[in-house]
Structures are given as C-alpha cells and as structure tokens.
Amino acid sequence: MPTLRELQAVTEDLWPAAGAESWDAVGLVSGHPDQPIEHVHLAVDAVPATADEAVALGADLLLTHHPLLLRGVTTIDETTVKGRVLATLVRGGTALLAAHTNADVVTTGTSAVLADRLGLTEQRPIEPGQDAATGIGRVGVLPAGTTLGALARTLVDLLPPTATGVRVSGDFDRPVRTVALCAGAGDSLLGNPAVRAADVYVTSDLRHHPASEFREQALLVDGPALVDTSHWAAEWLWLDVAAEQLRRATGVRVTVSDLRTDPWDFAVLPAAGPANPTAADAEPAPAPAPEGDRP
C-alpha cells in the first residue's frame, strides 16, 4: 500500500500545486508522510460531519476540495469548527489534504466535469492558465441547442438536490447554444469577454450587486442569461471523477461522501401568484394608528 508521501505524489501529478491561485492553501493539512494509506475518503468540505464520517469509515485520508485552513487561524480550540475537525481526524488517525483551485484548472477539474455532464463540445477555459487547455471555468457548445428553461431543468436533474435549487435570470424560452460556466464562486468572471459572448453563464455564489449589474447590462445589449447554482452541488460532481483517478493511480479504496454540506437547510417560497402584482392584486396597507396609540 502507498504511504501518504507517495499518495501526495499522485495528487501532485493529477492536480499540480503550481496551478493553484496565489491566495490558495492546497496540499497536506495534517498527517505523517510515512503513514500507510489504504482508504481515501473524498468530500467537498472539511466539516465535523465529513470528518466524523471519514473516521467512522476507517479512512486513512480525508481529501477535500475546500481547504480547512484557507485563512489565518490562531487557535485549534476544539470549541471551534476547525479545531473540532482537526482533533477528530488526528485522534482517528485520518490525514487531511486539500485539492482546491489546482483541481479547478485541470482538464478533468470541477468546471470541466460540469461541462462534460452538460454535454458541451468545443470546450475551452474562460481564463486560460499555463496552457490553452487548462484554466478557470469552461466555455462550450450544446450541439443541439436548448432553451434557458430546459437548461435549468437539466441542471436541477444533474446536481444533487439543495434547498435553493437553481436560480435563473433571463427569459424561460430564450435559445441557448453557447454556455460559459464556472463551478463554484464565479462572479469574478462576469466581465470576461468569453462570458459576455455566451448565451448563458452558469456559476455559484452570485451576490446582488454584481448579478444585478450583469442582468441590467444583458437587457440593454441582449447579453447572456445568468444561472446561479449551489456552490457545493456544482463541485460535488467532481468527486466521482477524482475518486476514479485515484483508484486507477494507486489501487487503494476510495469512497465519496454523500453528505450534503451546502449551508442552507430549507427555503420558504411565496405562494403561486402574479410575479409583478398590480395595485388591484395587492392588499391595502393598514391605516396608521392614531398618534396616541403609537408605541
């Protein structure tokens, strides 16, 4: 069986650390390089639930997409989430390793997997990296074309279910052929020419102001529609591909977590009714209380 050091060499071949963004924190988080690895467990996030799961399964390594220690940490007190995760893994003899933006940019990375599952052809990165084939995001073509509504439904069926589902900005029946996408947070690419030239941009974690400006500009110049998916769900698809790569390269047992670590538990939606109610549809506002009755 390989050691952790040997398995790290495999992950470096698959997802070179040199491809990570300068702000990222990829690679080994905890564990001894000489410890033997028989079982690797994959998850999007290193949280208490996935740490508990990895230890309960007897995994020697928890490999996550998102780094646990991305930002400065001054304590691993077990009453904090990061401390709890690390303590669980260390006590259970389970190492922790992260493959983040270095696993986004490769040709089998998070965005490429989503593009493949959608059936996109003629794929290329939105922002090319060290060569023309690698980089952030993907742009591709749906050979048969579709509509925006049908694409949204395909995404709902393709991604693991989450409370927020898939949110869409654009006409339901709009024709769609060229798709730009970035699995995970992608609002930094909203101004990219490749995104602006597409029929739709699919990404996650869209904030109000960037999304609103993108939408209003699209209305002015017939620009792309916008689709907002769950960050966790869009990147979860990559785990199965990564697991198969590790199995082939190492021969160890590799499992994938089905735990939903999307942060939202449920959504409360308005009852069916007019999207833009008229004055006649709206309930009248209550009359103001007399001065003497006001709190």
Task: Provide the percentage of residues in the chain whose pLDDT is more than 90.
Answer: 88
The third-level CATH classification (topology) of the domain covering 106-231 is 3.40.1390
Residue 71: pLDDT band (50, 70, 90) is confident
DSSP type of residue 16: -
For the residues 100-125, what does the mean pLDDT come to? 98
Q: Which residue from 146, 109, 105 is spatially nearest to 126, judged by alpha carbons?
A: 105
For residue range 74-102, list pLDDT tens digits in order.
899 999 999 999 999 999 999 999 999 99
Residue 130: pLDDT band (50, 70, 90) is confident
pLDDT at 285 over 70: no
Task: Classify burial at 28, counting beta carbons within 10 Å of its beta carbon; exposed 0-12, middle 13-18, buried 19 or more.
Answer: middle
d(CA 15, CA 99): 7
Is residue 42 within 8 Å of residue 63, measured between CB atoms? yes
Top CATH class of 4-103 equals alpha beta
DSSP type of residue 36: B
Q: What is the pLDDT of residue 271?
A: 81
pTM: 0.90
For the residues 107-112, what does the mean pLDDT come to? 98
For residue range 239-280, list pLDDT tens digits in order.
999 999 999 999 999 999 999 999 999 999 888 655 554 444
For residue range 148-192, list pLDDT tens digits in order.
999 999 999 999 999 999 999 999 999 999 999 999 999 999 999
Question: Which residues of the chain form CATH 3.40.1390.30?
Answer: 4-103, 106-231
pLDDT at 19 over 80: yes
Q: What is the pLDDT of residue 283?
A: 45
Q: What is the pLDDT of residue 273?
A: 56
Show the beta-strand stretches assigned E in the chain: 27-30, 39-43, 61-64, 95-98, 121-124, 127-128, 135-136, 138-147, 167-169, 175-185, 200-204, 225-229, 253-256
d(CA 58, CA 244): 19
Q: Which long-range contacts (CB under 8 A, 24 or more apart) does 81-88 make?
A: 81/47, 81/48, 84/48, 84/51, 85/46, 85/47, 85/48, 85/51, 86/29, 86/30, 88/48, 88/51, 88/52, 88/55
Q: What is the pLDDT of residue 292?
A: 44
DSSP type of residue 198: S
d(CA 52, CA 46): 10
d(CA 63, CA 57): 14
d(CA 112, CA 246): 17
For residue range 186-198, list pLDDT tens digits in order.
999 999 999 999 9
